[in-house]
Amino acid sequence: MKIAVIGGDGTGPEVTQEALKVLEAVSKIDNFSYELTDLDYGGERYLKTGEILPDGSVDLLRQHDAIFLGAVGHPDVTPGVIEKGLLLELRFQLDQYINLRPVKLYPGVETPLANRGPDDIDFVVVRENTEDLYAGIGGFLKKGTADEVATQTAIYSRKGCERWIRWAFEYTQKRNNPKGKRLTLVAKNNVLTYGHDLVWRTFQEVAAEYPDVEADYNHVDACCMWMVKNPDYYDVIATTNMFGDIITDLAAVLQGGMGVAAGGNLCPDAGGTSMYEPMGGSAPKYTGQSVINPIAAISAMSMLLEHTGQPESGKKVLNAIQVVTGTKMKSQSAGKMGYSTQEVGDLVCEALGA
């Protein structure tokens, strides 16, 4: 397994170190080998060279089975520049059309919802990752004048809808929730009567091929309400790019926040390269203090293993994480864990039996 590692900015490299520590431990237990390519992409390099993704870097990344990304975002770089130039650029160039966000409340982790526990908060969001408002289509008319007009166009293609929705049905089937297999499409087809009509029609057509999966629908505003009131209702959610961006932050808070939330940018096609990342940003103010929570990064590593040919090892890491959150850590907030960043990594290795 060839993994490209982009530690990135701020606390990104610190949490990446812990994820790599856990990878090493589980690889010894399960007896598989891997090769790492360390890449210095991010704000620091951009400030020095003016380059975000140097020439040839996308081809280099394509030669890897997976990418692990720590965090990008530098206080001296205009917000959005690295996010767009690295994260969004790779999503498009590598055609990572699925953004997978498991929303699982680990044992011992506090949720802001009263009287809710791990049994109530365990669902997965399958966000489309290459279309919608993120396509970057638009422009200005009479820019800078009082008559200025700006457009930002959301696009949805039949092909783009179908591949994402079909993947979501397949995933729901495989997840095989004992409470029942349910895929909820989250959109706004009462208002977005062109784009989300295409999404809706595609969903219905693909649903017919999966009669064992309940094909369900929520408007996005109602989904936000239900996610807080009845998170246990959800099994798998399929949603469009922009709405997915918003509801996955809401979902991250329900599962204990940025210290634990992880995601994958997947190109599920043969030979595709997927990228896994903790959702918390680069948290520059905590850099080098050993206080940042590596659980999200270790969860991202568990996802990488699950989707890159080592599903059993991925499960082991996920179980070890839950032992540590459930029996050791005091909190998931930076500086309040009761352990340093490195000690949390060690605890996960210990729980693995390393």
Give catalytic residue positions. 134, 188, 221, 245, 249
Binds ligand IPM (CB under 6 A): choice among 23, 87, 220, 301: 87
Residue 87, contacted partner among ligand IPM, Mn ion, none, CB below 5-8 A by kind:
ligand IPM
Q: CB of residue 281 vs Mn ion: minimum separation in angstroms? A: 10
Residue 205, contacted partner among ligand IPM, Mn ion, none, CB below 5-8 A by kind:
none
Single-letter amino acid code for the residue at 186: V
Structure tokens at 19: 């994820």
Determine the interface stretch with ligand IPM among 14-22, 34-42, 80-88, 147-155 (rule: CB under 6 A).
Answer: 80-88
Torsion of CA 217, 220, 222, 226, to 10 degrees: 80
CB nearer ligand IPM, residue 129 or residue 322: 129
Single-letter amino acid code for the residue at 183: L
Measured at CB, which residue is nearest to ligand IPM? 83
Which residue has 């179980």 as its token pair? 319
Structure tokens at 124: 């997965």
Q: CB of residue 125 vs Mn ion: minimum separation in angstroms? A: 11
Using CB under 6 A as the binding rule, whether residue 88 contacts ligand IPM is answered as yes
C-beta separation of 240 from 55 below 8 A: no
Distances (CA, A) of 324 to 253, 289, 320: 20, 21, 6
| Short-list 162, 37, 126, CA closest to 307 | 126
Distance CA 298, CA 314 (A): 10
Determine the interface stretch with ligand IPM among 82-90, 174-182, 193-201, 344-352 (rule: CB under 6 A).
Answer: 82-90
Q: CB of residue 48 vs ligand IPM: minimum separation in angstroms? A: 22
Binds ligand IPM (CB under 6 A): choice among 44, 83, 95, 170: 83
C-beta separation of 124 from 171 below 8 A: yes
H/E run at residue 125: strand 122-128
Binding string, residues 194-233; x marks residues near Mn ion by CB under 5 A: ----------------------------------------
Determine the interface stretch with Mn ion among 77-85, 185-193, 243-251, 302-310 (rule: CB under 5 A).
Answer: 243-251
- Count of alpha carbons within 13 angstroms of residue 184, beta-carbon side: 22
Distance CA 291, CA 130 (A): 34
Determine the interface stretch with ligand IPM among 83-91, 190-198, 230-238, 340-348 (rule: CB under 6 A).
Answer: 83-91
Q: CB of residue 256 vs ligand IPM: minimum separation in angstroms? A: 17
Distance CA 258, CA 253 (A): 7
Which residues bind to ligand IPM, rule: CB under 6 A? Answer: 83, 87-88, 245
Enumerate binding residues for Mn ion (CB under 5 A).
Answer: 245
